[in-house]
Structures are given as structure tokens and as C-alpha cells.
Structure 1
Amino acid sequence: MILRKVALAVVSVGIVGAPLLSGCERAPAPAPPPSSDASSMQGVPVDADFTGSGSGALKAAVTMPTVDRRLLKVTSLAARIEFESKSGIDGSSQLVSGSVFVPKGEPPPGGWPVVAMGHGTTGIQHDCGPSRSPNLLGSADPVATLVNSGFLVTLPDYQGLGMDQTYHPYLDSTTVGYNMIDAVRAARTLVPNASTRWLAFGVSQGGQAAWAANELAGDYGQGLQLVGAASMAPAASVAGLADAAAAGTLTPEQASALQWVLYSLKEEHPDLNLDDFRRGIVEDKWDVFSACSGPLVAQRTGLTEQVTPDDLRPSTPDAADRLRGYLTQMSLPKTPTAAPMLVVFGELDKVVTPAWTEAAVAQACSMGDVIEAYSVPGRGHDDIDGAVALGWVQKRFAGEDAQNSCDVQGGPILRLSPKPWYEE
């Protein structure tokens, strides 16, 4: 059987993403109180049930009066929310921020279908949450497209982004997977006429989040019905970063991502000696490389070009093995998925090496997953024309059977034209 080509649709992709990390066991902590952050108080409080507890419980909601006008034009409600979620590192309850966008008009029978959108890498600091930004740190266009297509969209910031009670475990796949699922629960509390049917969609780090949510949904997504997951340029299997660092072959994009991984690993493992992994300009300008906003960001781009292979080379084979262990532990796939999945990545990706994604897809196929997977010739990590798949997303909600490239000739990775379908 020859699979049809997927039409590259209207949601643009343009956020740099990266790898994963793991962590040690910690004693679970109680849920933190709702934030008093001023960014939560800019809008008008939204009336909702805030009395719930546990994963997905809604704790705060305010309107977003300064959000991008493209979103205000197509939404009946744009709200910043805070909700309870769960750490993938130690199982502790965590307060996470995010946003919810509701279409105008009346919902279809069964309620508004929900898309949980995982954003690409925005940084690792507390001020890197999209809900703090009028244009959602670059996510406004795809969110507006999805809302205008009739989907209620929830965009979690991820743990530690947008809130200052904890750190961001960059990129712990289990944590962001939990955050995606719990954002749907919180959105349904805020908007009672939202459906239980939902789809995970994401780019780069968000592609990892969508994939992880698909793996977690069977056990963790009780009460919700996941219809599919679309992962664009996903940061899935990234243990190769350790090998590239040891060999001195990191691309500039991978070097930048690895620095953020190391920053977060130090938060999880205080005994980690960062000097086993950094030196030169990376060590000297650590704060600059760690920034995602403010005056330091202007310096970051230029400094990234000055990083040499030795600046992020593990100092010993044991250090390389330790890093590889963290990345391997957090790489996807981990378990079979609960719903069909779409995976699209560029064959020139310099952040997540294409061979890593190909290996992840092949492993997922061996677990019995249903995947439609495509490599886009001539494209890299942040220039794929599409969230592929407004059409693919709509078919999942319509209940159509998903196609599977795992068991076709030439699969599981098929080649996709980089041109939009209407130019072919």
C-alpha cells in the first residue's frame, strides 16, 4: 500500500528546540499555593471552579487583555491559567501556568474539541513562559489558526516557565507530558462546554511533549479521550548529544541546547560538577547562555557562534557516560502510545539529528504504535511549512482511520515534498 501525501497546511513552525534530561528520586512535596505573580493579575478574574485538587485542578484564571490582536479577533475567551500538575522527576505536585483560547460562537455537539499545544523551546528561566508574552513567544499564529478552525486550544507553559516556585526540568519528557494532559483537564474546568476528546500537538520541545502525552494518556489521562498526537521536529531520542559532545561534533544549535540541558541537570543533581562539561566561553558567559529575555539575550546570539568543540566536551569518559545516561533515560519512546501519531521532521535538522528521530520512530513501530512519519527534503528544524496537518488533525476528530507507515514498503519514514500541497 502506498500512503497518500499529507498536505502541509497552514500552521507555521519556527521555534528552536532540544534535548531531554532526567533526574533523581526525591520525596514528593505538597502542592504549592497559587502564584501572586503580577502577570496573573493584569486581566480580569474569570469565574470558574477553583475548589478542585489533584492533577489538573484549576487554581487561577484571568483574562489576557494584551494578548496578540489576532487571537482576540478569533476568541470568545483568552485566559491565563494556573493549575496543578505533576513532576516527572519525583512525582511531586507542581503549580503550572498556561493559557486557554476558546473559539467564538456555539460549540458543536459534544462540546469544543480540545487541542493541547506544546510550544517549542523558549528557555529555562521563570520568565520564559508563553503566557507572559502578548504573542505567546511566537506561538500566537498557530494558536490563532487552530482556534479559527474550531478548536479550543490550551497552551501549557511547562513546569518552571511562567511560575517562580520551581525550576524548569529541561526537557524532561514525562513532566511536559503530564503538563499537557493536566492543561486539558484545567481547560475543561474553565470551559464546561469543552469536549473530553482532545489531541496533542507540538513543535520541537512541544513535539516531545505531544509524544510523551500520547504515551502517558493510557494510564494518566483517565476521563479524557485522546484522538491523536502530532509531533513536529520532536526532541525524542537525543542520547546522541552526549556522543556528539564527546566527539566535538555538536552543531551550534545543539551546543546551545546542551547548555540548557546542563543548567537544568544541575538543578536536579546538586552534586553534578558543571566543570566536567563546560569551559572557555561557555563557563565565562554561563548566565548569558542561560537567559531567554532581557539585555543578555542580545549578547547570546553572537556568543553562540564563538563556542568551540572543546567548550562543551565532557572532561572524562565517565562524565560522558553520566550525561549519556541522563539523556538515554529521558529519550522517547518509552512505552506504547495510546493514539495514532503523526511525526514530521526535516532531513537537514541541525538540532535533533534526523537519524535520532528515525531510530525513535523505528523503535515506536516495533512497540506496535500507529505512526504516519515523514522526512521533509531540504528542510531543517525550524522551517517546515506546516503543523502538518490541520487536515490530519481534523481527520482524527472526525474518527477516520489513521494510516500507518510502519508496515508499508519504504517505511516507516516516508519522504514528503517541502512544497505546500496547493503548489504541487
Structure 2
Amino acid sequence: MRRVLAVFYALTLLLPAAAIAQPPGTLISADPIPDAPAGAQAWRIRYWTTDQDGQVHEVTGLVAAPREAAPARPRRVIAWAHGTTGVAEKCAPSAYPESFEATPALDSMIAAGYVVVAPDYPGLGSPTPHPYLVGRDTAHSVLDAVRAARAIPGAAAGGQFAVWGESQGGHAALWTAATARSYAPDLVLAGTAAAAAPTDLAANMREGSDPNARAFLLALTLHSWSQRFGYSLDGFTNAATQGVIHRLAENNCLELGKNPRLGTILGILSVRQAVKKRDVTRIEPFAATMHANSVDPASVAGPLLIAQGSKDTIVAPAVTRGFARAVCKRRIPVRWIEIPGGSHIDGARGDRAGETLAWITARFDGKTPPDDCRRI
């Protein structure tokens, strides 16, 4: 018997981690964070999720909850889906102390008794290719983070949740709303808030008015999809530009309020010049992947809040408005917040953060959702 057990133990050591993984949403570990925000307790978590192909991955994230003793009833949960931080493993928000400061209205959410779950997404904080703007991969990691948080006794997280995201995270939030019922029927989605969310990926890539931002985001996308799906860049650009694309993606993490380095600026200009006559939105297999990972208005469950700055140079306001109108045609109530003169980062911050949190709380309270469809 000892020999049999020894052989079994040796085999488990040889198996890849995914082969012995628990079901998606299973918590692997929750390490307390000593310098949690005032009034909160927080953990850096590791948990299991699955991608759109059913492959199991270990991923990371943050959970924050009120410091006081757990209430008699489970706490409500808000899943915060962050904007683009990069596509390299080192770009995980949970690896940076500033992540709490970068989460809008975190203090207010904790004071209101919410558990805040903030997934890193696959490949950020974990050794797997980051699926940048790959809808199901990212949405699964959001839903499984909510599941994993329920296994932390001190958090007392329940199964009812709302999802709120900005930029890349707005895309993740909408995909979470589209897949929650089928992927995580054990959870109950109260509402979805999306700020400056790329919906039609090809349209946004073409119509974003900042050419430098377009070039940088194109580099992140091409690098990510070449790693995630094995796509070759040979049909799109030459070897020298490919090298610049990969270096931009591998060496740069984005942080709010920090300017890019000179080398990053030069790399962006190089990519911009090299691809100015090439439209990736019409080149396969990238075009098909953009279409597959755009948000289908018919799939998004309501109620829904959409916030969009009128001067957003990254996510084209006209594209967002068109998406909102398409959702409205399905008689889904949409709260439309347009920020006159607002930039890409204004949809989830400042006064809009408080307005969005109030909307989310009203959804948990069962109030009739406001509907702005007639004026969109």
C-alpha cells in the first residue's frame, strides 16, 4: 500500500496544475493584506477559472470587505472590472498597492457594506497568455472571482452581485452580463454598469480619434492574440515591427496619472507609421476574432447603466451610443450617462462614481430601474 501511495504522490507532482484543479470558482488561497483601506479587510486571492475552450487556469485578484463582524445575512457583492493595465503577467492590479486607490468609490462601497471583488483577469498575475478583450475568458474570471470570494469566511460574500467596469473592464462587465446565467447559474446578477466600454471592437479600432492610443492598443491586441490563439503577425507587418509590438506589450504596464516613457512613445510612433496603410479589422483571422469578441446587444441581460464621455478619443462615443440604442430595442432599461466634454477616464470617476453606486444600490433594493432609452 505504501508503494502504491508513493507512486500516486509522484504522479501528482508530474501532473500540470490544471489537471488537478478544482471546479471553476474554487478558492485556492486568500492571503490577508496588512495595509487594507481604512475600515476594510482585504485579501489577495488565487482561484480556478476556465477559458472559452474549457481549459482550467489559476488566476488572481483582490477581495475587500467591511472590517466589522460578518452580518447575519450574506453581504452584497460588487465585482469591479478594471481598465487596461497591460497584457504582461507583471501588470496585475493586485500586485500594486495603488490598486485600492485606483478603484472608484471603494471607500463608499465598503461603508455601504459591500464586498468588492476585483479580478486581475487571466494572464495578469498568472503565467498564461492574457486574453485581451477576449469576452468569455475575461467574463469567466469575473464570475469565478465572485464565487471564490464566498469561500472567505471573513468576507461573508453572498451570491447576489452587480458588475461594474471601465474601458477594458466595461467590455468585461458586458460580457459578464451576457454569460452569467449560462456559466454561473448559482449567482444572481442585480445589474451591470459599464463606463467607456468597447463594444464593437472593429468599429472602435477604426473610429477612435487618438492615433497614438490606437497604435498602442493595436500592439497589445496583436501581441495578446498571437500568444492566446497562436496567430502569426507575418501577414500584417514585417519582423522589425513585430519586434516593436512584442516589446511594447511585454514591457509596459499602465497606471493612472503616469506618463509613458520615451521608449514607449517611440515604439508607438514606429507601430503607427508601419501599419498606417493596414487595417487589422479587415485582415483574418483578426477580423473574425474582433467580431466574435464584440458585445452582442441581444445577449446582454439588464438592467444596464452605460456611461460615456462625449470627448472620449479611445472609445468612440458614436459606437457606444449605437450599442445602447440596440439594447433599448430589446426593451432592456438603460440608464444613459453622457458626460459633456468627458474623456475616456471620466465615466467611472468623480461624481459619476457616486451616481453609478447609487444606481447599483437601487438595483439591489429592487427599485424600478430608470430608463433613458427615449433620449439616447
Q: TM-score range by the shorter chain?
A: 0.7 to 0.9
Task: Give the structure 1 partner of residue 178 of structure 2.
Answer: 215
Separation in 1, partners of 2:233, 2:212: 23
Does the 8 Å CA contact 2:119/2:142 hold for their aligned counterparts?
yes
Q: How far 1:332 moved relative to its partner?
A: 0.6
Does the 8 Å CA contact 1:86/1:179 hold for their aligned counterparts?
yes
Does the 8 Å CA contact 2:309/2:317 hold for their aligned counterparts?
yes
Task: Give the structure 1 partner of residue 81 of structure 2.
Answer: 118
Task: Give the structure 2 partner of residue 393 of structure 1.
Answer: 360
Q: What percent of counterpart residues are identical? A: 26
Does the 8 Å CA contact 1:113/1:152 hold for their aligned counterparts?
yes
Q: How far 1:239 moved relative to its partner?
A: 1.1
43, 64, 73: which one pairs with 2:38? 73
Task: Give the structure 1 partner of residue 51 of structure 2.
Answer: 87
Q: 1:179 to 1:377 in 2, by over 3 A?
A: same
Aligned-partner residue type, residue 74 of structure 1: G
Task: Find runs of 4+ consecutive structure 1 residues off by over 6 angstroms.
Answer: 278-282
232, 236, 260: which one pairs with 1:276? 236
Task: Give the structure 2 partner of residue 262 of structure 1.
Answer: 222
Task: Give the structure 1 partner of residue 26 of structure 2.
Answer: 57
313, 325, 328: which one pairs with 2:291? 328
Q: How far 1:209 moved relative to its partner?
A: 1.2
Aligned pairs, number = 353
Q: Spell out, residue by residue over 1:130-174, the C-alpha distance to the aligned partner (whole angstroms, 9 max, x if none).
A: 11111128525543332233211110000010111x110101111
Q: Which runs of 5+ in 1 are unaligned?
A: 1-28, 35-51, 414-424
Q: Spell out, residue by residue over 1:300-332, the C-alpha distance to the aligned partner (whole angstroms, 9 max, x if none).
A: 553266347442346488963543322111101
204, 216, 227: which one pairs with 2:190? 227
Separation in 2, partners of 1:337, 1:313: 34
Q: 1:163 to 1:271 in 2, by over 3 A?
A: closer
Does the 8 Å CA contact 1:242/1:320 hold for their aligned counterparts?
no
Task: Give the structure 2 partner of residue 3 of structure 1.
Answer: none
Does residue 190 of the first structure (1) align with residue 190 of the second (2)? no
Separation in 1, partners of 2:371, 2:78: 22
Aligned-partner residue type, residue 110 of structure 1: R
Task: Give the structure 1 partner of residue 251 of structure 2.
Answer: 291
Task: Give the structure 1 partner of residue 333 of structure 2.
Answer: 370
Q: 1:224 to 1:303 in 2, by over 3 A?
A: same
Q: Spell out, residue by residue over 1:44-88, the C-alpha distance to the aligned partner (whole angstroms, 9 max, x if none).
A: xxxxxxxx92110111111122x4xxx43221x211111111112
Q: How far 1:277 moved relative to its partner?
A: 4.0
Does the 8 Å CA contact 1:277/1:313 hold for their aligned counterparts?
no
RMSD over aligned Cα atoms: 3.0
Separation in 2, partners of 1:128, 1:84: 19
Q: Which runs of 5+ in 2 are unaligned?
A: 1-14
Q: 1:336 to 1:273 in 2, by over 3 A?
A: closer
Pick the structure with more helix per residue: 2
Q: 1:391 to 1:141 in 2, by over 3 A?
A: closer
State the TM-score, normalizing by the size of structure 1. 0.75
Does the 8 Å CA contact 1:198/1:224 hold for their aligned counterparts?
yes
Q: Spell out, residue by residue over 1:209-231, the C-alpha distance to the aligned partner (whole angstroms, 9 max, x if none).
A: 11111111121221211110111
Separation in 1, partners of 2:17, 2:178: 24
Q: How far 1:275 moved relative to its partner?
A: 5.7
Does the 8 Å CA contact 1:103/1:147 hold for their aligned counterparts?
yes
299, 302, 314: which one pairs with 1:351? 314
Aligned-partner residue type, residue 351 of structure 1: I
